[in-house]
A and B are shown apart, each in its own frame.
Chain A
């Protein structure tokens, strides 16, 4: 701006300090200038409708000054949108998107809030209560069935064991996700080595605890067992497979390629079905293999193959010079992978890894087809109950399932954003 030139003092050559950017290009003023007042006609297109609407509202409509200002702004923005659409402005700018987005959110929120809150039935003892408000959710169904959604058919008297396992898991996962240094390392060690054993004894039984066979396991508990096993096993397995696929040794490389391509080539449903129906045929007679364990292995290997390809993408993004520098210092293959290559490669592919975890979490619902009743499975079982046969109950069940799955997946997604931000501090190349 010409005015800025006049007020800017002159400096001797080499003495010019860095000055703050003019207020007109940054912040609120910058936004308003860029979007509403960028040119002369642009400014009048904003101000004239505002003025007309304001005067009309204040003088002829008898609206208060504040109300008139709001109406003026709304009309002005509306005119801008119409002008942009009508005159084919090449840029559909933020203003338009914001308004359209707000309208869509309003419409969705209206439907959702009415169903989940305003028209909902909060306590019910059966289908008669639910049917009283057929346009709203029947949360009474969820509360009545809640413990089954959580524990499946796990015996009531023993459910404390699942709770204790859950508390252990949380006590370890929190320091793994948010802890630092040594505490975190101990938590990882305990989670990988001690927790599976303790958790298994607590939930399955033994050592004086009554045995609860895995076909009684169900609900959220089962979902979490499958998801956590899958997630914990697939990452290290995937890393090994990815390294193997890039190995110089043809035997290892080909083995990894065959493994990855086999598991990626078949649908998870097929894997689970084969594990459940075909696998026992290969076993000698009398030898049985736990149904849940088969599903766990199937899910873990399946997601490891996907994970391997995600990690391989990261490995390929690491410049050759990093490998060379590590080798030139005398670091062995495994040390250079662990200290130099993998920390960088895994950081790059965090979005892909979390993507796989989220997909895996939701894919656990497929165990329903081999007769395991996970969280979604127990909800569906509840829907078949005649005592709750009301028109709004199925919708309630599925909305509840969606909300719970969404909360878990959104949590993972937010954590990955946090982690990326933390790892990127000061590390720009």
Chain B
């Protein structure tokens, strides 16, 4: 099983690299949050990142679109190196979509306006074109009838699906998910995961911070386990769940799968 995973990674290696982090360190004040992170993500790869809270997993993916700044090491996204150059940062952000734990929809805009804002103002699309794309993605996340409503009138699950559609409207090459189901009621988690599974099946490059282990088993090419700012272990899901290598991983898995 481990070999199969290796092969999968190896075959992906022939593809282009989507994201590369090499020797990345980050500190919050004197607190060392990311310690020597080395990670290569290939195009169309689906990666699930898990680990205890405070392990640095959110910080790591937030470094990829520069919501957090790294202090040492190198991050290359879609062939562009992240530096202080604001133009390069904006270039990367156009190609990288992000879905947040708390949705972060814009409450003063309707669902449709939430979806068309970035395509119109960043991609310079016409309003009609942006609205066509927006309705297309709203249909894909199965809530086209909510287009005229404000986010505050939707359920949590619907809001998160709108947030996913909003990112997709920018036609991103890479999608980052930062605990997308952690703020949802159990009944709503399924509807959001369904959308994410569909997206994975279509070949989107995805990095998901999540504790939905069912999702990880079903769609991930690789599961990464982080603790105390380091990548402890990464493996194909079968190996990761059935034959974890490190004691820390075993403990973590026994705790979250134990119930």
Q: Is the CB of B118 within 8 A of A427?
A: no
B93 at the interface (CB under 8 A from A): yes
Among A319, A423, A426, chain B packs the most CB atoms within 10 A around the CB of A426
Query: Closest residue of chain A to B101, judged by CB?
Result: A321
**Residues in chain A near residue B153, CB distance under 8 A:** 426, 428
A414 at the interface (CB under 8 A from B): no
Q: Is the CB of B107 within 8 A of A331?
A: no
- Cβ contact of A329, chosen from B66, B93, B107, cutoff 8 A: B93
- Cβ contact of A328, chosen from B98, B102, B108, cutoff 8 A: B98
Question: Chain B, 75-93, contact with A by CB distance < 8 Å: what is the 0/1 string?
Answer: 0000000000000001001
B37 shortest CB reach to chain A, Å: 20
B70 at the interface (CB under 8 A from A): no
Query: Closest residue of chain B to A329, judged by CB?
Result: B118
B149 at the interface (CB under 8 A from A): yes
A429 at the interface (CB under 8 A from B): yes
- Cβ contact of B170, chosen from A325, A326, A329, A332, cutoff 8 A: A329
Give residues of chain A (320-347) contacting chain B, Cβ–Cβ below 8 Å. 321-322, 324-332, 335, 339-340, 343-344, 347
B152 at the interface (CB under 8 A from A): yes
- Cβ contact of B118, chosen from A330, A423, A426, cutoff 8 A: A330
Q: Is the CB of B104 within 8 A of A321?
A: yes
B223 at the interface (CB under 8 A from A): no
Q: How large is the interface on A (under 10, 10 to 19, 20 to 34, 35 or more residues)?
A: 20 to 34
B100 at the interface (CB under 8 A from A): yes
Interface size on B, residues (CB 8 A): 27
Give residues of chain B (91-120) contacting chain A, Cβ–Cβ below 8 Å. 93-94, 96-98, 100, 102, 104-108, 117-118
Q: Is the CB of B106 within 8 A of A335?
A: no
**Residues in chain B near residue A327, CB distance under 8 A:** 65-67, 93
Separation of A335 and B153 alpha carbons in the complex (Å): 26
- Cβ contact of A322, chosen from B96, B97, B106, cutoff 8 A: B106
Among A324, A329, A423, chain B packs the most CB atoms within 10 A around the CB of A329
Q: Is the CB of A339 within 8 A of B117?
A: yes
- Cβ contact of B149, chosen from A335, A339, A426, cutoff 8 A: A426
B2 at the interface (CB under 8 A from A): no
Separation of A324 and B99 alpha carbons in the complex (Å): 11
A143 shortest CB reach to chain B, Å: 49
B121 at the interface (CB under 8 A from A): yes
Separation of A343 and B106 alpha carbons in the complex (Å): 10
Separation of A205 and B10 alpha carbons in the complex (Å): 81
Q: Is the CB of B104 within 8 A of A322?
A: yes
- Cβ contact of B90, chosen from A330, A343, A426, cutoff 8 A: A330
B1 at the interface (CB under 8 A from A): no
Leading 6 A-B pairs by shortest Cβ distance: A325-B104, A321-B104, A330-B93, A329-B118, A328-B98, A330-B94
Q: Could you show 11 A-B contacts with beta carbons less than 8 Å apart?
A: A325-B100, A325-B105, A325-B106, A326-B106, A327-B65, A327-B67, A328-B97, A329-B167, A330-B93, A330-B118, A331-B117
